[in-house]
Amino acid sequence: MKMKNLLLATVGVAFASSAAIADDMTIVSWGGAYSASQNNAYHKPYMAKNPGVKIINDESSAEAVAKLRAMNEAGNVTWDVVDVVAADAMRLCDEGLAEVINPDTELAKAPDGTSAADDFGELLVSECFIPQIVYSTTFGYRTDKVSTPPTDICAVFDLQKYPGKRALEKRAINNVEWALLCDGVPKDQVYDVLSTPAGVDQALAKLGTIKDQVVWWSSGSETPQLLADGEVVMGSTYNGRLFALIEEQKQPVAMLWDAQVFDLDGWIIPKGLSPERLARAKDYIMFATDTQRLADQAKYISYGPARKSSAPLVGKHAELGIEMAPHMPTDPENAKNTFLYNYEWWADNRDDLDGKFQAWLAK
Amino acid sequence: MSEATSNGPVLTQDGVPLKTSLAKALRREKLRAFLLIAPLLVFILITFVLPIGDMLWRSVENGIVRDTIPHTIESLADWDPASGETPGEATFAALHVDLLEATKEKTHTRLGSRLNYEISGASSMFRKTGRRVKKMKDENFKEQFIKVDKKWGDIEYWRTIKQFGPRYTGGYFLNALDAESTAGGVSFKPEDERIYLFLFQRTIFLSVSIMLSCLLLGYPIAFLLANLPVKTSNILMILVLLPFWTSLLVRTSAWKVLLQQQGVINDILVWVGLVNDAGRLVMINNQTGTIIAMTHILLPFMILPLFSVMKTISPTYVRAAKSMGANDWTAFWRVYFPQTIPGIGAGSILAFILSIGFYITPELVGGTSGIFISNRIAYHISSSLNWGLAAALGVMLLVMVIALFYVYDKIVGIDNVKLG
Amino acid sequence: MAALPPYTSTAQRTWHYTFRIICGLIFFFLIFPIIVIVPLSFNSLPFFTFTPEMLSFDPAGYSLKNYADFFTNPDWNNALKNSVTIAPVATLLATSIGTLAAIGLSQSHVPFRSAIMAILISPMIVPLIISAAGMYFFYSRIGLQGTYLGVVLAHAALGTPFVIITVTATLVGFDKSLVRAAANMGADPVTTFFKVQLPLIVPGVISGALFAFITSFDEVVVVLFLGSAGQKTLPWQMFTGLREQISPTILAVATILVAISILLLTTLELLRRRSERLRGIRST
């Protein structure tokens, strides 16, 4: 009897948990402070407006392309809205794994009536991609562990003046470009040089000069942790993570904006949703990417809103009460020297260069 | 009559020959045993064996090229890359037909990503061409294609397309062995691109180091436990079993906390004065971290088999040796130690098999120099999306483990696996 | 070993104590990492080491805030909920069909016994990353990737070898004449199973179930690939936590998990004793 009850209870639990899925909307993002800002700016107001919907946060954006491909193969897509970087959005769109969005009918107009297409402008880099923010990958350093504050990206490669460990991302993108910039290659020739085997060797050789002093990270929140623990003296990560470290946790860290690499992050809707789920996802996107919502996100994290009309609405941080504009990567003071990374070039050379980079890393 | 009966087969009470009846009973017994086993067997076959088979299949499957550009592949059949000429107009016309079809379902970019694993630039070549293919005029296809992307005029790209035309390929396995098939046959890749053989080698090296340190630490403990009175050894056994039962992640997080530069061990060393504050030891995110943490995790797997072997060794042998004048060392080395070799074998192979497939601990404490081949497999599944290569590496690792397990089965026997 | 006889030489004496010290150090190595996280989990500051306040036993150095975070943070709550809904179901499935199969395997005439055994034990032998990869590819195809059912089936498959091994071990010592005696007295096979066989193998079944439970409860590699956010378990949350932002809450979770392992270990030990008593094996 006992056994039978237990069995029934377990089956009951199993069904209850599968039945609950009906009104759940799974939104995939990056986790940490970034997810928190989306939760405050988008999810909470959306759920308040639609009491029937429960948003589940999945922090799998880093594996989004792989998982979407697997879901697509199975014909069972469990994600409703996915936050990805522009390069991944292009890849997903290319592979037919993301819905094409019509900015005129499926995105909100700006308050002054400007169409969404004009409001986002050239940031609509793919027809499946609805940009949210402009972010940058840049460096932070411990103010108490350097004698003179670095102002040049090449401080990363200068072990004499700035001894100690550095945190760099465990992949080739950005690192090889920075290495070449600091090895005397002019900004506009970086990709031409990288296209030759000798150029790749040159970049790796430059990185090799600091290799034993590098801690390699694979998740954007590692660098802030390493900086806070004093395990590294400087490290690259997304600028918003450094903002949280500096302004919210008050750690002795400062930004090195030189040669920051701009990138876009935004939403895609996966292909293969049922009509009801697709309609709900589109409704969410319409809501979450309007002018006010994008400006609201900047109250919680220092990423620049992707709409032009949102910029004037960017105000003070929700809790800290400081002006957010000077912390945006797009602020003129911060954007004196920026680097634009070439999506097309990386799409072609990623597999190859990554293999070489990993082989170099392992040795 | 009675004569005949006694010469005939022995009958059971109900008149059936005993032999038949026994055979029937045996059949029934076999059937019952089989019926009891069947649910689990079917379950394991579906949930576990089939997935492994699927992985084997993926490591050689290559239908994407043929399915996406069938006409092109067909027309490449009589093109010889050695001729030094790019294929003719007919092939380009076939490519046009294929790509018109492929762009509808966007499969051409998927093909581009697949071929990009073999030759850089294939990805943009297909993407760019896909955008323009609808606008092409019905003439001079070769010229138009080369105008869209000059790589169409490069013989290397065509050679790759032809080479990966067949439905099945050994290409992933070649890649997994750091080799490639070029115009001149199969050869190793240039030195700076070789990684997998190196990683396999390192996986084996680290696993052997971990196995040896487990043996070094496990042997004295097993010896002590086997020679103490049961009451005491039962209590000390808890110290071995508690780590065994503790979650892998708990133990890994503990080591992460202990080993980091601002962690407990470095703090103690600084406090004692062995190292100064600036010279804190780097014990994590490298091979040292992996070896320490994994030795801790696998040590119980070494101690338990050693203990069960040592438990059966009668103390009389050593006593006899000593009474005949052997000193402690000789008695141990010549008499006791040889009897523990089965335990050493069992424990070592077990520790080695377990460590060779580790993923979580190296990922968390291994940095770049302490990672295993498993981490690379995971990388290809979730980041680079080269599933074929991930599958090929997985198959190679699997073959190694099965071979080792075969040895383990010969030494210990599959049925003698004991737990706890 | 217990006490040294009076005739031992100084060298032997020295070695005897040296050996014990070495063993003590190794035991320390085994147990220290597990013990050390317990006090650290009560740290009132977000550090992973002992603060001066903690070392001077100042109550201000200790707090329960990591535990409070575990029980109030929705991420951890969800993970806990998922772990306790996945593991028991996987355990039930693994134990029921695993026990039947173990009984089947212990019959005297089983065709292809060793081949079947090899297949049934394989989930335990194949490295987890390979199982995870294969299951990820295959379950994606059939639509089980990212579902509760998919994770439960995978975990059950990983747990069955342990059930087979522990139940088979109890059956080895099982006296077959008991079944025959029951049959002689007129009991039908079903009654015999429930009244005679089952009570005797129950300890094996329970310890197999505990192994299956801990396999699922601690498993991270397979669920990492096979699951989606809806199936995020405690170990998965710990793994992300460790790889990304090491929050001290992890230490509180770790301490709770250590307490659970101690509980499991005690249960197993009691079972082992009971089983030995029932089967009349005296511990030597």
The pLDDT value recorded for residue B152 is 94
- Which of B305, B94, B312 shows the shortest CA–CA distance to B214? B305
- Is residue B259's pLDDT more than 60? yes
Confidence bin at C2 (pLDDT 50/70/90): very low
- Is residue A220's pLDDT more than 90? no
Confidence bin at B7 (pLDDT 50/70/90): low
Pairing of strands B185-188, B179-182: antiparallel
- Is residue B239's pLDDT more than 70? yes
| Cβ contact B106–A95 (<8 Å) | yes
Q: For residue A8, give the chain C residue with the closest CA.
A: C89
Kindly report, as residue ranges, where domains of CATH 3.40.190.10 are found in chain A: 2-134+264-327, 136-263+335-362
Chain A hits for C229, Cβ within 8 Å: 26, 28, 56-60
| Cβ contact A91–B193 (<8 Å) | no
Our CA-based measurement puts residue B179 at a distance from the nearest CA of chain A, in whole angstroms, of 13
C150 touches C226 (CB < 8 A): yes
Query: Could you give the CA distance from residue B419 to residue C169 in angstroms, rounded to a whole number?
Result: 10
Length of chain B: 420
Which of C19, C25, C30 has the highest number of chain B CBs within 10 A, making it the mutation to test binding with B? C30
User: Residue B54 is nearest to which of C137, C214, C218, comparing CB atoms?
Assistant: C137
| CB-based contact, B371 to chain A, within 8 Å | yes
| CB-based contact, B117 to chain A, within 8 Å | yes
Question: Considering chain C, what percentage of its residues have pLDDT values greater than 90?
Answer: 40
| Cβ contact A14–C230 (<8 Å) | no
Q: Is residue C246 part of a domain?
A: no
Our CA-based measurement puts residue B123 at a distance from the nearest CA of chain A, in whole angstroms, of 5
- Is residue A270's pLDDT more than 90? yes
- Is residue C225's pLDDT more than 80? yes
Q: What is the CATH number of the domain that holds C151?
A: 1.10.3720.10
Mean pLDDT over residues A176-197, rounded?
94
Chain C hits for A219, Cβ within 8 Å: 243-244
Q: Is residue C29 part of a domain?
A: no
Query: Could you give the CA distance from residue B411 to residue B343 in angstroms, rounded to a whole number?
Result: 9
Name the residue with tokens 């003071």. Answer: A333
Mean pLDDT over residues A72-79, rounded?
81
Residues 76-115 of C with CB under 8 A from A: 85, 88-89, 92
Chain B hits for C141, Cβ within 8 Å: 54
| Cβ contact B106–A94 (<8 Å) | yes
3-state secondary structure A186-253: CHHHHHHHHCCHHHHHHHHHHHHCCHHHEEEECCCCHHHHHHHCCCCCEEEEEHHHHHHHHHHCCCCE
- Which of A290, A213, A223 shows the shortest CA–CA distance to A251? A223
Confidence bin at B8 (pLDDT 50/70/90): low
Q: What does the mean pLDDT of chain B come to?
A: 88
| CB-based contact, A7 to chain B, within 8 Å | no
Q: For residue C236, give the chain A residue with the closest CA.
A: A59
The pLDDT value recorded for residue B1 is 43
Query: Could you give the CA distance from residue A167 to residue B79 in angstroms, rounded to a whole number?
Result: 51
Our CA-based measurement puts residue C27 at a distance from the nearest CA of chain B, in whole angstroms, of 7
B71 residue type, one letter = H
Q: What does the mean pLDDT of chain C come to?
A: 86
**Residues B346-390 pLDDT 10s:** 889 889 989 999 999 999 888 888 889 999 999 898 888 888 999
Length of chain C: 284
- Which segment, A244-248, C8-12, C26-30, is predicted with the most confidence on average? C26-30
Q: Is residue C101 part of a domain?
A: yes
Chain B neighbours (≥3 Cβ pairs under 8 A) are: A, C
Our CA-based measurement puts residue A335 at a distance from the nearest CA of chain B, in whole angstroms, of 30
- Is residue A13's pLDDT more than 50? no
Mean pLDDT over residues C250-266, rounded?
91
Q: What does the mean pLDDT of chain A come to?
A: 87
The pLDDT value recorded for residue B362 is 93
Give φ, ψ of B165 to 5 degrees.
Answer: -65, -45
Query: Could you give the CA distance from residue A29 to residue A15 in angstroms, rounded to a whole number?
Result: 27
**Which range among B111-120, B307-316, C104-113, C238-247 shows the weakest confidence by mean pLDDT?**
C238-247
User: Residue C141 is nearest to which of A74, A78, A222, comparing CB atoms?
Assistant: A74
| Cβ contact C29–B391 (<8 Å) | no
User: Residue A71 is nearest to which of C142, C145, C246, comparing CB atoms?
Assistant: C145
Q: Which contiguous run of DSSP H or E holds residue C13?
A: helix C10-40
C210 touches C268 (CB < 8 A): yes
Q: Is residue C3 part of a domain?
A: no
**Which range among A146-160, B81-95, C186-200 shows the weakest confidence by mean pLDDT?**
C186-200
Chain A neighbours (≥3 Cβ pairs under 8 A) are: B, C
| Cβ contact B368–A362 (<8 Å) | yes
Our CA-based measurement puts residue C27 at a distance from the nearest CA of chain A, in whole angstroms, of 30
Mean pLDDT over residues C79-98, rounded?
96
CATH number of B198-416: 1.10.3720.10
Q: For residue C82, give the chain A residue with the closest CA.
A: A17
Query: Could you give the CA distance from residue B171 to residue B159 in angstroms, rounded to a whole number?
Result: 14
The pLDDT value recorded for residue C101 is 94
| Cβ contact A63–B106 (<8 Å) | no
Our CA-based measurement puts residue C99 at a distance from the nearest CA of chain B, in whole angstroms, of 9
Q: Is residue C223 part of a domain?
A: yes
The pLDDT value recorded for residue B6 is 54
Chain A hits for B121, Cβ within 8 Å: 348-349
Which of C91, C137, C140 has the highest number of chain A CBs within 10 A, making it the mutation to test binding with A? C140
Which of B29, B40, B215 has the highest number of chain C CBs within 10 A, making it the mutation to test binding with C? B40
Which of B180, B193, B205 has the highest number of chain A CBs within 10 A, making it the mutation to test binding with A? B193
For residue C28, count other CB atoms closer than 10 A to its CB. 12
The pLDDT value recorded for residue C245 is 64
- Which of C190, C234, C224, C248 shows the shortest CA–CA distance to C68? C248
Our CA-based measurement puts residue A75 at a distance from the nearest CA of chain C, in whole angstroms, of 7
pTM of the full structure: 0.86
How many domains would you assign to chain C? 1
Chain C hits for A222, Cβ within 8 Å: 243-244
Confidence bin at C281 (pLDDT 50/70/90): low
- Is residue B61's pLDDT more than 50? yes
Query: Could you give the CA distance from residue B296 to residue B287 in angstroms, rounded to a whole number?
Result: 14
**Residues C111-154 pLDDT 10s:** 888 889 889 999 988 999 999 999 998 998 887 888 899 999 99
- Is residue B169's pLDDT more than 80? yes
- Is residue A19's pLDDT more than 60? no
**Residues A47-58 pLDDT 10s:** 999 988 999 888
Query: Could you give the CA distance from residue C150 to residue C224 in angstroms, rounded to a whole number?
Result: 12
CATH number of A136-263+335-362: 3.40.190.10
In terms of DSSP H, where are the helices of chain A?
2-19, 32-38, 44-49, 64-74, 86-94, 103-106, 116-120, 175-181, 190-194, 197-208, 222-228, 239-243, 275-288, 291-297, 343-362
Confidence bin at C108 (pLDDT 50/70/90): confident
User: Residue A351 is nearest to which of B120, B127, B260, comparing CB atoms?
Assistant: B120
- Is residue A2's pLDDT more than 60? no
**Residues B93-126 pLDDT 10s:** 999 999 999 988 778 888 988 898 888 888 889 9
Our CA-based measurement puts residue A289 at a distance from the nearest CA of chain B, in whole angstroms, of 27
- Is residue C242's pLDDT more than 60? yes
| Cβ contact C2–B257 (<8 Å) | no
Residues 23-42 of A with CB under 8 A from C: 24, 26, 28, 31-32
Mean pLDDT over residues B243-262, rounded?
88
Mean pLDDT over residues B253-275, rounded?
87
The pLDDT value recorded for residue A1 is 36
User: Residue A362 is nearest to which of B105, B199, B386, comparing CB atoms?
Assistant: B199
Our CA-based measurement puts residue C110 at a distance from the nearest CA of chain B, in whole angstroms, of 6
Chain B hits for A360, Cβ within 8 Å: 192
Confidence bin at C246 (pLDDT 50/70/90): low
Superfamily of domain A2-134+264-327: Periplasmic binding protein-like II (3.40.190.10)
Our CA-based measurement puts residue B75 at a distance from the nearest CA of chain A, in whole angstroms, of 26
Residues 248-307 of A with CB under 8 A from B: none
**Residues A294-351 pLDDT 10s:** 999 988 888 989 998 998 888 888 888 888 888 888 888 888 898 877 887 888 888 7
The pLDDT value recorded for residue A8 is 42
